[in-house]
Amino acid sequence: MLFVNFKNYVFGEKSVKLAKECKKVNNKIVLGVGLGDLYRIVKETKMKCYVQHIDYQGKGRNTGYNLVENVKANNGKGVMLNHSEHRLSFEIISKTVKRCKQLNLEIMVFVKNINEGKKVSRLKPSYICVEPPKLVGGKVSVSTANPKLIEDSVKKINGRILVGAGIHSKRDVEVARKLGAKGVAVSSAVTTARNPGKVLKELI
């Protein structure tokens, strides 16, 4: 899996444009998008989209919360939780995972290390993405700085493991896959590139 997290680098018209660029390269790429852009991106590209964050609260009086039902109603396929830029308590992760499962949404939970990954694995999310926070958004990838973390995560965490943080080259992707990861999560390498399509082709 190649997962492209748009973060808040692009939104509105620019997010749709980037989604179309991703589709041109490979329609199997999974996108992490803002809830406000979800409907239009799915409608115009038919790409598989996860929402970058969601709340566990239910329908009704919960003003201001982003609901799981909203993801489902707008044809999202999954949600991201606990990214290093939007950390959650284990209690909230647990409640949110439960809500997502009720609506058959896929769940990707981000973790900062193996111990957190082991704890999260008890919730049985669809994917666990291991990202060392210090490397997130940087130029040095986890594949280069700490390949052993990838290897140990695959061995010690029960679940389908993705890795991220600083991924920006074909070699980074190859190392991660060779060590057993099911895929990688990328962001700034693609979203801030002058030619996102070219970068994506190099990563795949």
Domain spans in the chain, listed from the N-terminal domain onward: 2-203
Arithmetic mean of pLDDT, 109-125: 98
User: For the CA atoms of the chain, what is the radius of gyration?
Assistant: 16
**pLDDT tens digits, residue range 5-46?**
999 999 999 999 999 999 999 999 999 999 999 999 999 999
- Which pLDDT band holds residue 54 (cuts at 50, 70, 90)? very high
Q: Tell me how far apart the alpha carbons of residues 45 and 31 are, in angstroms, rounded to a whole number.
A: 11
DSSP H or E stretch at residue 57 = none
Arithmetic mean of pLDDT, 161-172: 90
Task: Evaluate if residue 133 carries a pLDDT over 90.
Answer: no
Give the per-residue pLDDT at 123. Answer: 99
Calculate helix-pair angle for 170-178, 196-203, nearest 10 degrees: 30
Give the per-residue pLDDT at 167. Answer: 85
Arithmetic mean of pLDDT, 156-162: 97
Give the per-residue pLDDT at 84. Answer: 93
Task: Evaluate if residue 196 carries a pLDDT over 90.
Answer: yes
DSSP H or E stretch at residue 18 = helix 13-25
Helices (H), 64-194: 68-73, 90-102, 114-121, 142-145, 147-156, 170-178, 188-191
Task: Evaluate if residue 118 carries a pLDDT over 90.
Answer: yes
Q: Is the dihedral of CA 87, 80, 117, 164 positive or negative?
A: negative
Domain 2-203 classification at class level:
alpha beta
Catalytic machinery residues:
83, 131
Task: Evaluate if residue 180 carries a pLDDT over 90.
Answer: yes
Are 25 and 200 spatial neighbours (Cβ–Cβ below 8 Å)? Answer: yes
Q: Tell me how far apart the alpha carbons of residues 143 and 102 are, in angstroms, rounded to a whole number.
A: 35
Give the per-residue pLDDT at 26. Answer: 97
Give the rounded distance of the alpha carbon of 160 from its chain centre: 13
Q: Tell me how far apart the alpha carbons of residues 6 and 140 are, in angstroms, rounded to a whole number.
A: 19
- Which pLDDT band holds residue 100 (cuts at 50, 70, 90)? very high
Give the rounded distance of the alpha carbon of 73 from its chain centre: 20
- Phi, psi (rounded to 5 degrees) for 49: -125, 135
- Which pLDDT band holds residue 136 (cuts at 50, 70, 90)? confident
Are 181 and 167 spatial neighbours (Cβ–Cβ below 8 Å)? Answer: no
Are 17 and 41 spatial neighbours (Cβ–Cβ below 8 Å)? Answer: no
**pLDDT tens digits, residue range 76-85?**
999 999 999 9
Q: Tell me how far apart the alpha carbons of residues 155 and 167 are, in angstroms, rounded to a whole number.
A: 21
User: What letter does residue 62 receive in the DSSP assignment?
Assistant: -
Give the per-residue pLDDT at 86. Answer: 96
